[in-house]
Amino acid sequence: MSQKQKVQETKELRRRAEVNLSRMISRTVPSLKPENVEALVHELRVHQIELQLQNHDLERTRQEAEESRDRYRELYEAISIGYVTIDLSGRMYDVNPAGASLLGLDRESVRSYSFFFFFINGESDTMTRLCQQVLAAQEPSVCERKMRKVDDSRFTAALQITPVQVGAGKHERLRIACRDITQQKEAEETLRQHQVELEANRIELRISWRS
């Protein structure tokens, strides 16, 4: 149940309680002794204070939830890692500024593209299957994939795929964290090549020394 629904339910409960109390008073007060009327009024005042305290707590909880949501949104907008929220068809519901920049998009054109459009060399089908597996297992998954921007420039991305529940209907979606690791992969490949060359030079030196 959402916080808004809880507040509405509490308000409705208070209204019904007030109606019932009003009916009870109209039936019982005329037949009560003065000291009993005083006791009843005291109980009603205590009950009123309890309801006010309950409403105060609910309002405080609502404000804290809104503040937490706002802080999360600020972080989501400012973080340097790209985040995209999609469904299984690849439709993009939300992209933070870093995600839009990574894909070469302006945020107004986000819904014009399927997220799977940005995968190359058959990676689109592989990514679709992986997303289906994540939703089926309800467990996050990480991978590296070849991707492209809108202008068709290529990069290698590190992806973390996480299932999320959104909205009152609990529709299943995926939130995907994207990070460009092209330079990292190029550095790793350069290091690998240097290691291969170094080993080849060592072998050549051993052969020369034995000769």
Give the tens place of pLDDT for each residue, 182-203. Answer: 988 888 888 888 888 888 778 7
- Residue 176's nearest CA partner among 123, 130, 122 is 130
pLDDT at residue 46 tops 70: yes
pLDDT at residue 8 tops 80: no
CATH class (in words) of the domain with range 80-180:
alpha beta
Residue type for 122, please? G
- Residue 5's nearest CA partner among 47, 62, 64, 72 is 62
Helix (H) or strand (E) holding 176: strand 171-180
Cβ-based neighbour number of residue 205 at 10 Å: 10
Work out the average pLDDT over 34-46: 67
pLDDT confidence tier of residue 207, bands split at 50, 70 and 90 = confident
pLDDT at res. 73: 67
Question: Rounded distance, CA 211 to CA 165, Å?
Answer: 70
Work out the average pLDDT over 117-139: 90
- CB-side neighbour CA atoms (13 Å) of 15: 6
Question: Rounded distance, CA 159 to CA 175, Å?
Answer: 10
Residue type for 195, please? Q
Domain boundaries, the chain: 3-76, 80-180, 183-211
